Amino acid sequence: MNRIRKNPIFIIVSFFLLINVFFIITAGDSFFQLDNYFYVLKQTAMIIIVASAARFL
C-alpha cells in the first residue's frame, strides 16, 4: 500500500480526480459532460502528443 502511495502515477491520478471533484462541485453540470471532456482533450491533444515523445529526452 505504501509503495502504491509513493507511485508518481498514483499521485497524479489522485490529483486529477480531486480536481475533477472540485470542479464538478463548484462549476456544476457543465463541467461533468462528455462533450466538455472531449473539448479538453482536443485542446490538450498537441501537448499530449509532443509531451509523450519529449519525456524520453
Partner 1 sequence: MTGNYDLSTGSVVSFAGCVYALMIKSGMALLPAGIVAVVVGILIGVINGTMVAKFNFPPFIATLCMMYISRGVALILANGATIRDNMPPEIGNLASRDFLGLPIFVVFIIIALLIFVFIEKKTLLGKYALAIGGNKNAAFFSGINTAAIIFAIYVIIGGLAGFAGVMSASRLSAGDPRGMVGFEFDVILAIILGGTSLSGGKGSVIGTFFGALVVACLGNGLDMLNILTFWQSILKGIIFVLAIVLNEKVMKNISKKTVAAARA
Judge whether 32 and 38 are in contact, CB under 8 Å: no
Q: How far is the CB of 1 from partner 1 (least distance, A)?
A: 14
What is the C-alpha separation between 51 and 42, in angstroms, rounded?
15
Residue 4 is a binding residue for partner 1 (CB under 8 A): no
Q: How far is the CB of 56 from partner 1 (least distance, A)?
A: 5
Residue 54 is a binding residue for partner 1 (CB under 8 A): yes
Q: Which of residues 7-26 bind partner 1 (CB under 8 A)?
A: 7-9, 11-13, 15-16, 19-20, 22-23, 26
